[in-house]
Structure 1
Amino acid sequence: MKAVILALVAAGVLAVGSFFPEPDPKEKEELIFYAVSNFLEQVHYRPLEMNNDFSENAFKSYLEVLDNSKRFLLQTDVDELQKYEKLLDDQYEEGSFEFFNLSEQKINKAIERAKKVYDETIKMDFDFTIDEDINLDDEEKAFPKNMDELKEGWRKMIKYEILVRYEDKLEANEKAEKKKTEEELKKEAYKDAKEMFDDWFDRLGEIRRSDRFEAYLNTITHVFDPHSDYYNPKEKQDFNINMGGRLEGIGARLQRDGDYTKVVDIIVGGPAWKGKELEVDDLITAVQQKGEDEVLDITGMRVDDVVQHIRGKKGTIVYLTVKKKDGTMVDIEIERDIVIIEEGKAKSVIIEREDEGHKYGYIRLPKFYADFESKDGRSSAVDVALEIEKLKAENVDGIILDLRNNGGGSLRDVVQMSGLFIDEGPIVQVKPRGREPYVLEDEDPETKYDGHLIVMVNGYSASASEILAAAMQDYDRALIVGSKSTFGKGTVQRFYDLDRAVRGNGDMKPLGEVKLTTQKYFRVNGGSTQLKGVVPDVILPDNFHYIETGEKQYDYAMEWTEIDPVEYELPKMTVSNKEILSKNSAQRIESDEQFKLVLENAQRLKENRDDKIYSLNFEEFNKEVDAREQAAEKFKDLWSNQIIGLNASNLPIDLEFIEADSSRIARNDVWIKDLQKDIYLNETLNIMKDMITANPSLGSLEKK
């Protein structure tokens, strides 16, 4: 069947052309499925044998995607679908959608059935005095065997949501000046729960066949590995925006508000911000392109569809019909332009502690961004280099590079960035499928910064963050400080344009792109970060200290492997006495009251996560909530108190840019205040102080 499809594609006869005004979406699905499966077989790092194991894994994963909460499908539905449990490999090879078509039919009918059950159940008068409970662990639940079990599941779920809101309102009522009766509060809780469920079913009703098809397709790619995904054209556009930090449009963030599209943020420096007419909380009701007669009513339209009509090329004009907060309707003309998104970019401050005499540079890097669409686009490596130069001009005694919660990004940029701290040499080994590994090197003999360096990480520092941390650790160039280990993603992905894989069929394009894992990367010492991550030199406990997180939590994650190391020379500027630095920090943490609380809180969070049974008796539920709140009370100030003597300040060179806009000032103030409450940063400064004492000659080149 695949050979037949390939021949048809090559001949260009799959296009509907003049036979129908619109192409058949199912034929487009066939093209996308063919192209994705072809790429999976040809370029994925770990090609899989199409057998019963593959089929069973794909079936299990898709069933979880289809109805993970077990709120819609009956066991009889699952039984019908389960007939295909060992046939998906055959359907994959044949390009058949028989199972997918049945699953779409089943879930759509199941949602309609559940909506009727909900409509009946929400009208019930719930009794909160009887003793019963609900299990919120979806994995432990079974699919309802019949309608009675389905109705019972919905009754308990609705009752739980009302109970949660009722308890919240009772608590808020105790603090309110004007008290309400319990009956009034209960009615409000019913009303709020109903609005939540109604909105949820509205959103379920907006799910299109294409959404389910993409979910099905990604179920298959995820059996290969968790980081291989299909991206429709809109998703790929969003990915490029996220990576590059730039877009062509009006510079406003939107979200759904009932049937309307609401403006929730205006991006500083963008066209909407410059025009001053579009404001936060405005409701956009219609869109018109200059030069076109059609005024498009977007009421009830999905936000991702609205965005596609509002974005556009630089220099083009769009007209928005907007309902203002006072109820007036206005038409706003906006000329689209390049919008630079500041959030997510590298930025730095000076950190000092009273009576210490040291001045430290701090660089925050949320991701390894790179704009591949523009020659003059932003690059994280270039931006970090600029921040280093600014900090050197301030004559700092050490630099902290904060990669916490940095999920990675550009491989090119992490290699260049690592090279800022060493003369030259290998940074990472990259192994393609079926070939020998090759080495990506820093070929620039210049060292941008040779001083005291600490890299901060946590369990959500992934991919490129792990490459940099591993390289700095292997070169003994920096001290790595953070939680038990980093995320553990040791694979490299690449995008493939499906349009280039399918000749002709222009009426069905664009088809989107597929992001596939094509390589694994390895440290210069031959080890891998896959699954294991990077274990810091100094470990600081956090909220997830007793909870397993990261790559190892994924189904079908690639295995850990290692290869031969490559030759590399340690730089002149190395961190010595790592063991002493770690020991000193451990002693401080052991006696530090805040870190004691961190460990207690981590244990509490683990226990809360493991406890999935909740009482639906109000008195018992209230006791459980009170017990949890009392337990949490002990930790409420853990992250909210400013650390005495810890001061963060903007670099003088940055002040003009920051002070040019009030919203920028506000965001900066929040960031500075948060830094001054950061107990991990405070302990990292203790470690840096010890490092300077233990390595007094480090950074001598910078001090000349």
Structure 2
Amino acid sequence: MWKQGIIVGLWLLLPTVFGIMIWAAETPAPNPATVQNDPSETSRQLNKALIDTVCEKILAGEYSAAETMLDTAIIPPSSSCESLKAIVTHLRTIDEQLQKEVTDARSKAEADLKPFRDNPPANDKDRDKAFSILLRLRNLLGDHQQAEFLRDPFVKKLMQDAQNSADALRSQGRWADAYSHGLFWLRILDKDNLQYEKQADDLIARASLALALKDGPCDTAADRFQGVQKDMLLKAITTLDFRYVELVDYDGMVRAVLDEAERIPDVLEKSADPVSISFRKEGLPGFREGIGQFRAMLDERPRPYPKEIFLHIVEDTLALNTETIRLSEPILVALLSETAMSALDPYTTLVWPADVNQFQKAITQEFDGIGVRLSKQGKFLKIGGIIPDTPAARAGVEAGELIVAVDGQSTEAMSSNCAVEKIAGPRGTTVTLTIQKPGATESRNVILTRARIVVPSISTDRRRDGESPGAPKHLIDPENRLGYIRLSNFVENTTADLERTLTQLEAQELRGLILDLRGNPGGLLQAAIEVVDLFIEEGPILQSKPRFLFPSFWTARREGTHPPYPLVVIIDGASASASEIVAGALQDPKHQRATLVGTRSFGKGTVQEITNATGAGSQFKYTTAQYHLPSGQPVVSRYMAERRHTQDWGIVPDIEVKASRPNRRMSETNQQGESSDLDNSEDNEEFQAAAVPSKEEDPQLAVGLLILQTKLVQSGQLIQLARAEDPKARDNK
């Protein structure tokens, strides 16, 4: 085991409470010799059985059943039963608050939508505003209401208008606008419509292609692909043949390459913003005709297409380029390689020599900047997340907002890497960001002073009102000695930081712990294994199953295991990769070490490795294995589940609790988690957890704390608990 840890700050959060304090303690186990002659002992045994059953119901999320059992029990109530009644009342109050929040939010969305229903929007700007309200409304509806929502005449008309606008913008070569004002909304409003999905993917590909072929504020298109060689792709293919997680889908790669090749002449010729690279315009008809002939010949061949066909298509396309449009070969090799790899999974990619430095910064997690994560979606430069205790966090910048300009320069033509270069810089210098909320027309300027950014492994979010700066910040419930730790990522020092914090908590007589993994995108696989090992004495932790090689097994060691105090883990839709390994292993039936609270996790399900085998200063990141939890079940990949049009990915919590509306940004910011091999870690550039919200906004944490208190009662421990007002009594006032 590893001896490690860190101090983390917390705010005390408890549900809204009224009334008196209750103390609950379970009496010692009875002496069997006295049971037959002692009626009070029989009562205690019945009470113990009732408490155990009620606790099991609560821990399964069956609050109504638990409440009924407590209300109808015919045995004399104990103080523990009274405590459980208070806990159930707290939980029902939280449920009611969330339901009221949904009802209020629906009413607000309907009110905001009414002006658009009365006067249907006639332009893209107003239509975007209406769509943003519709999206809010749709997210508040149950599954059974989705179809009815899409049949609403106003919604149907708005979606048809958006489709017409997208078609017009597409014909003008305005790919990014066609996506952002049309297919972006259609795709997310009607998730099951495969035509919308196909159109959206094509527009994103065209917009990305146009951006790649234009000089940017930071570099030229030629510089971007400097050093790219065809041999890098061939070496990557060799690696995939032997090390990829499954049989390589060369059929899909062939189709992706042909689709990209068909897009190239359209983007070169029709893009509203002319490309910056040189090409022979007179060769465009010949290139189109040649690609059409390739597709026609392939239609006559049996499928799936093998590796040889893929290599022939790449070679033939490069040769056709030489004969016709004469794009720079490094550029064409890069375009075909990137689209081929994307056909396999979202995480397999070639890193070209010009991008390696930025790639390595993501791995080390140390840099000078302002503390934001960025992603490029069409023409939008989106803030995927905010790193706590950084200039951006202190200035109130929020995840999900858009950066429309950097130091007065529009970000529309900037790539993600270019934007990072513009925003980052020597510590102590300033940068001005022009920030806008999605769907809004107003923007604001924020001046930030750059600083050294070290992505923390353990957050220091304060949790207690009125604390002095030097006060201990680990205990979320000091009266019951319950601790709270939030892990933001998994890096080399995570286990050491966590163990140090646990040791400090245990020195304060820790009796239970909440481990918060919300918004944690993952990181080092080995760090995840070590974290699990802190809480499990023995047995399997994880299996990593590659296609050809023998599986890798990780098991827990008794040495260094921390005491078996009750444990709750909170997860959400942004808990990915290494977070899912930790949550899944602690929840697993083989260990049953933790109760999971929150919402379904992201669904990464795979492990990546990084190799320099592609040579000449490039790197290759590829998916090498699936991971399986202690009982043998896999963590289902979201990518694979969506390809099957199912939603069974990731880790499912024992108790589902939706985030409050303000807190939901943390789980709705999308999300690709990374788990790398033992010596490599790359947190995804597209998201990072925002700061934990205030106690009034966090029902997931409130429920987690009540579940932890339930576990204390179940184990017969003394707890101090405040009584919540009974909703039934409140309704009768």
TM-score range, shorter chain: 0.3 to 0.5
Relative contact order (alpha carbons < 8 A, sep ≥ 6): 1 or 2 greater?
Answer: 2
Q: If the length of structure 1 is used for normalisation, what is the TM-score?
A: 0.46
